[in-house]
Amino acid sequence: MAGANLSAQAEGAARYVPEDHDLQSLANAASGCRGCGLYQDATQTVFGHGNGDAPLMLVGEQPGDREDQEGLPFVGPAGRLLARALEDANINPGSTYQTNAVKHFKFNRSGKRRIHQTPRRIEVVACQPWLLAEIEAVQPRVIVCLGATAAKSLLGNSFRITAHRGERLEWPTAITVHLEPEPSVVATLHPSALLRDRSDRRQENYEAFVEDLRRAAAILK
């Protein structure tokens, strides 16, 4: 079709996901994923990391500039804020598995800087098989979606964080992976949003974020 936007097409990650669902096999396979166009400009796939039996899974949006270079999630500024918030919420980071809805860094170049770009719906959908495979492998009891991209990946495109943040949500029936028991889901802000927050409510917003994390952890008790 004339004018068809090829970049809007993505075959998705499903055909790259191996039968063997242990985390190491998944991570190895994900390093070669070409399920959407984002692998082309990024340095590497940034797969999830942490405790493979974690009761608590934290899902961000996508790796940032530092994560792209180091190959690990949440090692840059947003990760530092997250680490501080976990500490303030009395959550042992060793009890978490941390990953992202999208496994490659999406950015625009501006001189020497690489500026984060929000992934499009088609890229989030393309990458979802990796996230679901990680959830199946780890079998967390609670999943915290950090920000709208993660929340929409699991809870659907019409999900609104502002309407449901901090709530204990049921595992969405639209997602057909085998989980026993099904995890609860809690959605909250993305730590990058708190980093960007220059308003006079910055501290208050940070504390509300910590409170959301505390509520998620309280489900485990």
Q: Give the nearest distance from C-beta 27 to ligand URA in angstroms.
A: 14
**Residue 64 binds ligand SF4 (CB under 6 A):** no
**Residue 103 binds ligand SF4 (CB under 6 A):** yes
Q: Measured between alpha carbons, how far is 17 from 38 in angstroms, rounded to an integer?
A: 17
**Residue 127 binds ligand SF4 (CB under 6 A):** yes
Phi, psi dihedrals of residue 39, rounded to the nearest 5°: -65, -20
The alpha carbon of residue 159 and the mean position of all alpha carbons in its chain are separated, in whole angstroms, by: 15
Hey, what amino acid is at 46?
V
Residue 60's closest CA among 188, 174, 197? 188
**Residue 100 binds ligand URA (CB under 6 A):** yes
For 120, which DSSP code?
Answer: P
The one segment of 68-76, 170-178, 180-188, 193-201 that binds ligand URA by CB under 6 A: 68-76
Helix axes 121-138, 23-30, angle to 10 degrees: 160
**Residue 119 binds ligand URA (CB under 6 A):** no
Angle CA(19)–CA(48)–CA(152) in degrees, nearest 5? 90
Q: 187 pairs with which residues across the strands?
A: 145
Residue 67's closest CA among 107, 96, 37, 32? 107
Residue count at the site for ligand SF4 (CB under 6 A)?
16
Judged by CB under 6 A, which of 26, 29, 38, 101 binds ligand SF4? Answer: 38
Q: Measured between alpha carbons, how far is 71 from 28 in angstroms, rounded to an integer?
A: 12
For 169, which DSSP code?
Answer: B
The one segment of 21-29, 122-130, 180-188, 194-202 that binds ligand SF4 by CB under 6 A: 122-130
Q: Which of ligand SF4, ligand URA, none does 74 bind, CB closer than 5 to 8 A by kind? A: ligand URA
Instruction: Map the footprint of ligand SF4 across residues 130-189, applying CB under 6 A.
Output: 130
Judged by CB under 6 A, which of 61, 68, 123, 212 binds ligand URA? Answer: 61
Residue ranges binding ligand URA (CB under 6 A) = 60-64, 67, 73-74, 76, 78-79, 100, 192
* Contact residues for ligand SF4, defined by CB under 6 A: 13, 30, 33-36, 38-39, 45, 102-104, 123, 126-127, 130
